[in-house]
Structure 1
Amino acid sequence: MKSKNLILSAMLMALPSTLMAQQNIQKAFDALLKDKIVETKTQHTLERDPETGQKTAQADVYDFTLPTLYARKHIKEIQEAFEKDKDVAYTYRTGTHRQDEVNERVDKKRHETVLSVIHYSRIQIAVGDGKQSVAIGTKEGANYVYACFNDEDDATKKYRYCYAMDWVEQNGETIVRLAVTYALKPEARKSYGKGRITSVTLNGKPLKIDEIMDAVGDQLENIKGFNDRFEFDLDSIDAPKSSYIWLSEFNTYKKFFLKNPDGNTATHHATSIYNLCKNADGLEADEKKLVISEIKKLKEVTGDDFIQNLFDMCIERLGK
């Protein structure tokens, strides 16, 4: 019981003094932390401006396991609390984690096979200036919910609190993560980062984050990577895929196309190949030559003029 009280006390210390906006979520978090916790791991981060004493970064993360019957009740209550508070949040998201996979299904109405590629998504909740983060929904099949609220006590209006929960049922137990983080809001983090040159190397090519931000602007901020919704997916910012992923996808589409090169699905698979070829910067010269050779073979097995023209455009793009 003493350890549970310590955990709850730490959680309460992590919360903002102004509780109006997210008070329902706070109460639901408190209720879960008081209940029958089997195993708990906590992580805490706190940073302040040395001159003003103002808090600049905070992260409080709680990982524990509950019997599923207990967990379901609390998870439902927390979900309802997020629903109640979401109207005063500036960001609210829910979802389920999935690994990368290529799915083939049959569309019975159109009598055709449809291929879909599901990409891995990883969500990171920012801490402080964004250099640190807390991962949410990382386990396969895990559900997550999070919401971000302005810090009403912050006179600068630059900071926010983010509340998050993820959970997954395994072998009759439910693994739960609760998190509260404090960070600059997305627009403030962009301003904070001006003057810094941060770069990464992708497939041997340097990419400057500042240049990416200028190029994609709010699109990057809203979808994949530098705000509270962090779901970093390089496809979303048109960065080149690794050759391994690119060639694997190409080979998958090629095989599906060859199953019926003049059927109803042929155009779909040919178009998918064309979309790949529009973003083939991650391929080496010899890899592009290999793909061109394979596309020429594909062109020979179809009599559809439109598809042949698509393949010609693929070859032209790969030859640049």
Structure 2
Amino acid sequence: MSRMPGLTLPANLNSFLAKQREQADKLRAQHGIEPQPWYRITNQSSDEAEVLLYEDIGGWYGATADQFIADLRGVTAPNLRVRINSPGGSVFEGIAIANALRSHPANITIQVDGIAASIASVIAMAGDRIEMAPNTMMMVHEASGLCMGNAADMAEMEELLDLISDNIADAYASRAGGTREQWRERMRAETWYLPEDAVDAGLADEAIQVPKTGTPPASPEESSPEPDMHRAFDLTAYGYTGPQQATGLTEDIRALVGEEVAAALRAQVVVEPAPVEPEPVEQVVAAVPAEPAPPAPVDEDPAAEPLLDPWAAAVAQLMQPAPDPWAELTSHLTGTTASSSAATEAA
């Protein structure tokens, strides 16, 4: 693996750092670039503030540790969360930041959001609590740098880099336990840690877990009360109690249209009576009262005229011919003859 870029560390370190900052100021002025801090500090609430370290630590175009420390003094919240996603950078800028965090009165929680490598992992050791977000990584390695000069300069550079690596190993050992040499071995191997590995090595306190998908639902005894937001489409929250029965539906319609309209609707509906099975004959006969016996037949005279139907009798009166007026006037003229004839026939 390729090593992370380190800081060039010549023999005269103070002079080099001053020249580095001066050159950075000239480059920014030359290209019209305003200083862009590689961090951001925000007050999330009166109880907690947040620091984002999402770039290289220090650097040619970035702000230096003194600016970060000045802004950090303005944080008065009792809790401070430092979120790191940095590949590293300047060793001495990082050490200054770590010491500023250790001396701050707030309770410091370090949260690795992406990567905390090289000197960024040393800054992480300054937290009172260290958390690794899912799929993040932490990396430790030896200090590295560039040097130009003769053999004496190279030998001096070797001693300086070895001293810096011992100093970094002590930071890991102070936090995670172990010895300086044990951590130097891991640094020489350029060791990478996943969240669980960092916890096992003592470099972190917690590997934040994400709920797994596809897991079977918990039993009713184990499940917690469902939050209100999960019941957004639970119709019982709006008074729905399930499908209504037919009687309940009829009552609802009558309440809507009124009794008069409901009565009119019922009048339009013809309800056929349900078929009734015939009762046994014995029960029917017993239930029906006995009719009186018909009168005995009376001997009729064969010569007598048959009885007329009342309706026929009424009609017969209408069919009688009207009396002839001429016959009434002449009836007395024929009365004697008729009487003589009747007497003669009678004798």
How would you bin the TM-score normalised by the shorter chain? under 0.3
Give the TM-score normalised by structure 2: 0.21
Query: Which structure would you say has the larger Rg?
Result: 2
Q: Which has the higher strand share?
A: 1
Give the TM-score normalised by structure 1: 0.22
